[in-house]
Structure 1
């Protein structure tokens, strides 16, 4: 698995987490309780992984060119 594929999987997982939190932050079944991560933390991770995917795809990368002036 490449780094780009891994970053896309992480991004997809955090987007799924955001969707899950939107349907309920926590719930209880009998004596068991599930509390999901905070929405602010999920959004931070989504931003991080979106940037990582863009970086690995080469978007937004800066290219440096060098010019040498010549006097003919």
Structure 2
């Protein structure tokens, strides 16, 4: 499992905990329901990184594709 995948798992766990009404300590900081948007922003960032790694692992380049016109 890559670092990006590990971080994504942590953000998913933190999001679930906060949604269940629990507070969670993450990166030395205690987060509660008020911090849910921050947790979601972090999750989205790590989802992008995991997707970028997966794309790179399959030999494709993210962000654009080339077309040939004849």
Please, what TM-score do these two structures have when normalized by structure 1?
0.62
Structure 1: 4+ residue segments shifted above 6 A: none
CA distance in 2, matches of 1:23, 1:58: 33
Please, what TM-score do these two structures have when normalized by structure 2?
0.63
Question: How much is the aligned-residue C-alpha RMSD, in angstroms?
Answer: 2.8
Partner of 1:10: 7
Aligned length: 57
* Structure with bigger RCO (C-alpha 8 Å, 6+ apart): 1
Higher CA-based Rg: 1
**Unpaired runs of at least 5, structure 2:** 24-29
Partner of 2:31: 36
Partner of 2:17: 20
